Amino acid sequence: MKLLLHPLSVRIFHWVMFSAVVYLVITGLYLHDPWGGLPYGLIRKTHSIAGIFLILNLFGQIYYYIVTGKYTEVLFTSRDIPNIRSFFRYALFITENHPNYGRYNPGQKVLFTSWGLVVLLSGFAALPHFFPEHASWLSRPFGGLMGSRIIFYAIAMFFLATIPLHLYLVFTEEPAKLQAMFSGYVKKEPKGQGSGE
C-alpha cells in the first residue's frame, strides 16, 4: 500500500531549497576566493538570483504551512521538548525502538526551524548588496559590509555542517522517507501482513 508522505508542493519547496543552498554555498565560496578564471560577474549575478529564489521559496513554505495548518509538523515548539531525550537515545543507537513523533522527529524540526531563521537572516544581510545606495545604514546592524560578508560565510559553514546531519537523521529514522522526497509516496504494509504484526 502506498501512502502519500510528501505532496508535490512540499517536494518542490524541498528541491528548490536544496538546489539554491548548494549553488549559493559553492558560488559564495568562489566569490570569496575566486579560482579557475570563471566569469566573476556572471557568478555574482547568478548567486544573487539563487538567493532571491531561496527567499521566495521560504515565503512560499511559510504561506503553505500556515494555510494548511501544518506548521507544527516542521517547527520546533515547546511541545517537542519532552521528546528530545527519547530522540537522542534513538538517534545515538542507545535504544532500538523508534518513538512515533509524527511526520518529523525533534531533530529534524530543530534543523528546519534553524534553516528558516538562517535564510531570513541571509535575506536581511543581503539587502545592502541589493541596494548599494542605502548600504551604509542597511549594513549597520551587521557591522558594515564586511560584517555581512562574515555572516554569509558563517551561514555557508552552518549549512555545510547541518546538511550531513539532516541526511543522518533521514537514514537513521526511515530511509524510505528519502524515496518519498522524490516520488511523494512511501510503501506501507497493512498491519497483520509481511512482518507478522
User: CATH no. for residue 97?
Assistant: 1.20.950.20
Q: Per-residue b/e over 50-61, b at no fewer than 16 CB within 10 Å?
A: bbebbbebbeeb
How many residues comprise the chain?
A: 197
Kindly state the cell numbers that stand for 92.
Answer: 545515538
| Residue at 193 is within a domain | no
Rama region for 183: left / alpha / beta (φ>0; ψ in -120 to 50; rest): alpha
C-alpha to C-alpha distance for 57 and 11, rounded to whole angstroms: 12
Task: Calculate the dihedral angle through the C-alpha atoms of 174, 179, 184, 189, rounding to the nearest 10 degrees.
Answer: -60
Q: Is residue 181 part of a domain?
A: yes
All three cell numbers of 124:
536581511
Any domain includes 122 = yes
The domain containing residue 162 runs over which residues?
Answer: 2-187
Please report whether residue 151 resides in a domain: yes
3 φ/ψ angles, rounded to the nearest 5 degrees: -120, 130
Residue 173 resides in a domain: yes
Residue 192 domain flag: no
- Whether 50 maps to a domain, the answer reads yes
Q: What is the number of structural domains in the chain?
A: 1
**Would 197 be classed as within a structural domain?**
no
Per-residue pLDDT of the chain (197 residues; tens, 9 = 90+): 788 888 999 999 999 999 999 999 999 999 988 888 889 999 999 999 999 999 999 999 999 999 999 999 999 999 999 999 998 888 888 888 778 888 888 999 999 999 999 999 999 999 998 888 888 888 898 888 889 889 999 999 999 999 998 888 877 777 777 788 888 888 766 554 444 43
Distance, in Å, from the CA atom of 113 to the CA atom of 117, rounded to the nearest integer, reads: 6
DSSP letter assigned to residue 189:
P
How is residue 83 written as a grid cell? Answer: 521528546
C-alpha span between 150 and 122 (Å, rounded): 11
